[in-house]
Amino acid sequence: MSHQDKKHTRRDFIQQVAVAGAGLTFAGPVNLFGGTGGAAAGGNIPSRGYAAMDASGILKPWDFERRPVGDHDILIDVKYASICHSDIHQMKGDWGPQQYPQVPGHEIAGIVAAVGSKVTKFKVGDRAGVGCMVDSCMKCDSCRHGEEQFCENGQTVFTYGYPMKSSPTGISQGGYSTNIVVRDHFAVHIPDHISLQEAAPLLCAGITTYSPLMRADFKIGDKVAVAGIGGLGHMAVKLAVSKGAEVYAFTTSPDKVDDILSFGAREVIVVDDFKKMAPYKGMMDYMICTIPVQFNVAPYVSVVKPGGTFTMVGMPDGFELSLNNLALAASRVNFNASLIGGMPETQEVVHYCADNNVRPRIQIIRAEEVNDAWAKVVNKEARYRYVIDAATI
Ligand SMILES: [Zn+2]
Ligand SMILES: [Zn+2]
């Protein structure tokens, strides 16, 4: 290394530390790099978030700590975190008992504030996003093929509420917070031609609908149905329209009709009575359903043509859904369910939406409005994704 190079490296390092320190208070810059030993020991990173303290579904401000930035980690200053219905389900214990305090949030966008010594994927100042996962074994077939959500060693760590030894709180803590430390592999780049606030919802709502839509492999002009037009559903409509499908949207909210047509849907069917679905029987090549509660699946399945596919991406209470077997058998509909998508595909959907002007419809809120916003999500009043401005946390 020449003298010149050395000077550069040192200057870059000082700049990195300066940027990292701008939004946070550290005992000393060396504390950023916990994995490098010596003086770095004990350098947890202070964070502030909105956390559930119990199963009431009420969030409160909470100061906690993140792990130090390890060799393969990056520290992201969170700028925006959006609200997914899953956050609400999990904090309320709808999917099983939880450890509290727990910070929800798995649609996270911000700026890289520090990088570990072995990180090459990001540099300080990069725009970065984190979605539903923050770690996995990285060694099994699924992990090596970019399907980390299916880690065969059961080591997928989802972004909040999962046991995580490295976390000072013992569990992963999510994105309704001022910062997050994450292994670089589980962060994606956010290109300059999409805003951070519009990129955030792509990290769960975007990838969760994009992944099965891509697997459905529909042709231009095929009839694609979307059931449940909330955060996920409105992205499914926009993505399917963008890919050339003729989109039919099924909603229970009459006041969403104009919006959904403006997203490019061919028709919007207001399902206030299942008889409304009869004219569409057997018409759809494919249906993606985002309804996040228990519902009567049979009428929805009936609109799919024989041999067509129905994909469930909503997650009801207790993860359970009752199916009428005859409804599936009568038209030999293929029923499947899908969970998020792997990291390469998550990066792909962010680029796809940035490049093709596919944007979520968002409403920015202040952190103290989060409990009101949650109530509106539950009452189907969200239009269509609430995004928390992390500067207000
Ligand atoms: Zn989600
Ligand atoms: Zn694995």
- CA–CA distance, 393 with 350 (Å, rounded to integer): 25
- Helix/strand/coil for 77: strand
* Closest ligand, as measured to the CA of 231: 1
Residue 208 has a pLDDT of 96
- Tell me, yes or no, whether 160 and 197 share the same domain: yes
Q: Is the pLDDT of residue 267 over 80?
A: yes
Q: Which residues surround ligand 2, an ion (CB under 5 A)?
A: 136-137, 140, 143, 151, 153
Residue 243 lies in a domain: yes
Q: Are residues 227 and 123 in the same domain?
A: no
Note whether 97 and 193 are same-domain residues.
yes
User: Does residue 65 sit in the same domain as residue 212?
Assistant: no
The per-residue pLDDT for range 72-98, each reduced to its tens digit, is: 999 999 999 999 999 999 999 998 999
The CA 187 to ligand 2 mean position distance, Å, reads 17
Residue 159 has pLDDT above 70, yes or no: yes
pLDDT digits 0-9 by tens, 323-347: 888 878 888 899 999 999 999 999 9
Based on the domain organization, do 164 and 282 belong to the same domain? no
Are 219 and 160 in the same domain?
no
**What's the CA-to-centroid distance between 76 and ligand 1, angstroms?**
19
In a domain, 356, yes or no: no
The answer to whether the CB of 174 falls within 8 A of the CB of 103 is yes
Q: Grade residue 15 by pLDDT with cuts at 50, 70 and 90.
A: very low
Residue 330 and residue 319 share a domain: yes
- Distance, CA of 247 to CA of 236 (rounded, Å): 9
**Beta strands 362-365 and 385-389: pairing type?**
parallel
Q: Which of 18-22, 160-164, 383-387 has the lowest mean pLDDT?
A: 18-22
**Do residues 300 and 321 share a domain?**
yes
Query: How many other C-beta atoms can be found within 10 angstroms of the C-beta atom of residue 327?
Result: 18
Checking if the pLDDT of 348 tops 70, the result is: yes
Q: Give the model's pLDDT for residue 326.
A: 83
pLDDT band at 4 (very low <50, low <70, confident <90, very high): very low
Report how many domains make up the chain: 2
At residue 375, φ and ψ (nearest 5 deg) are: -60, -40
Q: How far apart, in whole angstroms, are the C-alpha atoms of residue 152 and residue 338?
A: 17
pLDDT in tens, 193-204: 999 999 999 999
Q: Once rounded to an integer, what is the mean pLDDT over residues 50-59?
A: 98
Residue 49 Cα, ligand 2 centroid: separation in angstroms? Answer: 29
Prediction pTM value: 0.88
**Residues 346, 326 share a domain:** no
How many CB atoms lie under 10 A from the CB of residue 310? 25
CATH number at residue 176: 3.90.180.10
When pLDDT is averaged across residues 287-292 and rounded to a whole number, the result is: 94
Q: Is residue 102 part of a domain?
A: yes
Whether 283 and 190 map to the same domain: the answer is no
Q: Which domain holds residue 83?
A: 3-204+342-351+362-392
What percentage of the chain has pLDDT greater than the value 70? 89
Asked whether residue 158 is assigned to any structural domain, the reply reads yes
Residue 93 and residue 61 in one domain: yes
Q: Which residue has the tokens 């399902």?
A: 271
Whether residue 384 is preceded by a cis peptide bond, meaning omega within 30 degrees of 0, is: yes
- 193 and 229 in a single domain? The answer is no
**In the numeric block, which tokens belong to residue 388?**
């928390």
Q: Residue 29: pLDDT band by 50, 70, 90 thresholds?
A: very low
- Residue 291 CA to ligand 1 center (angstroms) comes to 13
**Residue 84 maps to a domain:** yes
Which pLDDT belongs to residue 36? 40
Q: What is the CATH number of the domain that holds 299?
A: 3.40.50.720
Cα(158) to centroid(ligand 2), Å: 13
